[in-house]
Structure 1
Amino acid sequence: MAKTAIILGATGLTGSFLLKRLIPDKRYEKIILFSRSATRVKSSKIEEHLIDMFELGKHRDKFKGDVVFCCIGTTQKKTPNKEIYRKVDYGIPVTAAKLCAENNIESFLVISALGADPKSRFFYNRTKGEMENAVLQNGIRNSYIFQPSLIGGERQEKRPLEFISKQLMKAANFVMFGPLKKYQSIHPDTIAKALQQVAEHGYDKIRIESDEIKNIAHDDD
């Protein structure tokens, strides 16, 4: 039976790759998008809702499907205001998880970050960790938290410092093996492939770290 997928953040780096993968996937008959700007992707499968993402909770009647992919996220460089940053990286995923619980959606996959820890002294890691815990409190049957390392790929907006960091990470990847392998940078399409795989086949862990994400994606090759 064909399913309905909901994607939050389809205009973002990883979300855009995921959308491209789900369109030809015959397991999905409809893909519902919630975002603040249009994807400009044409497909008869797509149902697109342009909304204020901070008001996602007001759209419960449209938030109905079989699986939700939450690819929402920002950076401290892009969003220096901590209050707004938290509304994006904590508020939106947690609201989406609550809507899943209310509408009996049994699968919720969310992108967090490697190093997420609710007890961290670093605001970014602490926010991600608190988001993870709040999501899991909703008791969604199939909840999976993806914890990628630095995400590679080219963004539409230019982030010079992030670009330099990514180049350094690419070089560092050659010496990161064993326990350090999970800190290697990861391509957004690799994350998208893993999201697609786990949504269909599940996984034996709730929290999936970066090296595991790569392994899942490679198994699909």
Structure 2
Amino acid sequence: MTPKSALLFGASGLVGSELLKLLLNGPEYEKVIIFVRKSLELKHPILEEVVLEFDDLAQYKACFDVNDVFCCLGTTIKKAGTQEAFRKVDVEYPLEIARLAKEMGAEKFLVISSMGANPRSRVFYSRMKGLLEQELKKIGIASLHIFRPSLLLGDRREFRLGESVSATLSKRLPFLFAGPLSKYKPIGGETVAQGMILAAQSGAEGVFIRESHEIEEMR
């Protein structure tokens, strides 16, 4: 296997932090670049950290000259403050990242969306994720991998009620997510990260959408 280079966005988040561990400690990559707003204060021989404001992405176009680009950006309405601010983080930034990746010749673009993503959904969150997917497909990246996890499990810096409730239910009442409802079972952030790493090693071209239960089956 020829070592590759990777660019990661969202390295401080639940999935992104797990993905960073895998990128740094696995044999697949010889160089890993992360774009962050605040330094992670992390040192590693193959890690390059770029601290920036995401509105200035185009100024760092040279950093997009990598094999694989991983986008784990995401926020909540509560944290963003407004729907406009949410859209910037969850839609506009990822699209700009994908365009720069395409321009610089990245082989793969791997992004986290959400279960239920639909550009025509009445639910704002699902509609924004659906819009992101719709616009990503138009960019024409050779190998586009979209991950649609259910509610995520793992240690977050901020508390999210929905994920906390789902985590409790899945542990105490696992039968609730059996049979036809298994696709709604919460999924670990580490599991999603592992799925992204595996997908990045595929040589297949096209658009690949992986639902939450399919991500679980990738392990």
8 Å CA contact 2:7–2:66 kept in 1: the answer is yes
1:77 Cα shift? 2.6
CA distance in 2 between counterparts of 1:52 and 1:41 reads: 19
Task: Provide TM-score, normalisation by structure 2.
Answer: 0.92
CA positional deviation for 1:163: 2.5
Identity of aligned residues (%): 41
Question: What is the CA RMSD across the aligned residues, in angstroms?
Answer: 1.8
The residue matched to 1:48 in structure 2 has which SS? strand
Aligned to 1:191: 192
Give the aligned residue type for 1:38: S
Q: Map 1:57-206 onto structure 2 (within 5 A).
A: 57-160=58-161, 162-171=163-172, 173-201=174-202, 206=208
Paired residue secondary structure (1:72): coil
Q: Distance in 2 between matches of 1:136 and 1:184?
A: 27
Contact (CA 8 Å) 1:37, 1:50: kept in 2 or not?
yes
The letter for the 2-side match of 1:109 is L
Distance change (3 Å), C-alpha of 1:60 and 1:157: same
Contact residue 107 and residue 143 of structure 2 kept, 8 A: yes
Q: For 2:32, give the aligned amino acid.
A: I
The 2-side partners of 1:152 and 1:202 are apart by 29
Looking at structure 2, the residues matched to 117 and 50 of structure 1 have their Cα atoms a distance apart, in angstroms, of 33
For residues 5 and 136 of structure 1, do their structure 2 counterparts lie closer, same or farther at Cα, with a shift above 3 Å needed? same
The aligned residue for residue 54 of structure 1 is 55
Q: Shift in Å at residue 170 of structure 1?
A: 4.2
Q: Do the aligned partners of residues 57 and 5 (structure 1) sit closer, same or farther apart at CA in structure 2, a change above 3 Å counting?
A: same
Question: 38-47 vs 112-121, which deviates more?
Answer: 38-47
Where does the alignment leave 5 or more consecutive residues of structure 2 unmatched? none
SS, match of residue 23 in structure 1: helix
Please give the alpha-carbon distance, in whole angstroms, between the structure 1 residues aligned to 2:175 and 2:150: 15
* CA distance in 1: counterparts of 2:176 and 2:146, whole angstroms: 27
Q: Deviations over 1:106-133 (max 9, x none)?
A: 1000000000000001110000000011
Unaligned runs of 5+ in 1: none
Deviation at 1:164, TM superposition (A): 3.3
Partner SS, residue 114 of structure 1: coil
- Alpha-carbon deviations, 1:133-156, whole Å to 9, x = none? 111111111101000000011112
The one-letter amino acid paired with 2:218 is I
Verify the 8 A CA contact 2:153 2:163 in the aligned structure 1. Answer: no
CA distance in 2, matches of 1:48, 1:60: 15
Q: Contact 2:5 / 2:32 at 8 angstroms: preserved in 1?
A: yes
Q: Which moved more, 1:3-12 or 1:162-171?
A: 162-171
User: TM-score w.r.t. structure 1 length?
Assistant: 0.91
Mapped partners of 2:130, 2:111: distance in 1: 12
For 2:38, the equivalent position in structure 1 comes to 37
Letter in 1 for 2:110: L
Instruction: Say if 1:54 and 1:91, in contact at 8 Å, map to a contact too.
Output: no
1:100–1:108 CA contact under 8 A, matched in 2: yes
Corresponding residue pairs, total: 217
Q: Distance in 1 between matches of 2:32 and 2:136?
A: 22
- Decide whether aligned partners of structure 1 residues 95 and 170 sit closer, same or farther in structure 2, where only a CA change above 3 A counts: farther
Could you tell me whether the CA contact under 8 Å between 1:108 and 1:140 is conserved in 2?
yes
User: Which of 181, 203, 211 does residue 209 from structure 1 map onto?
Assistant: 211
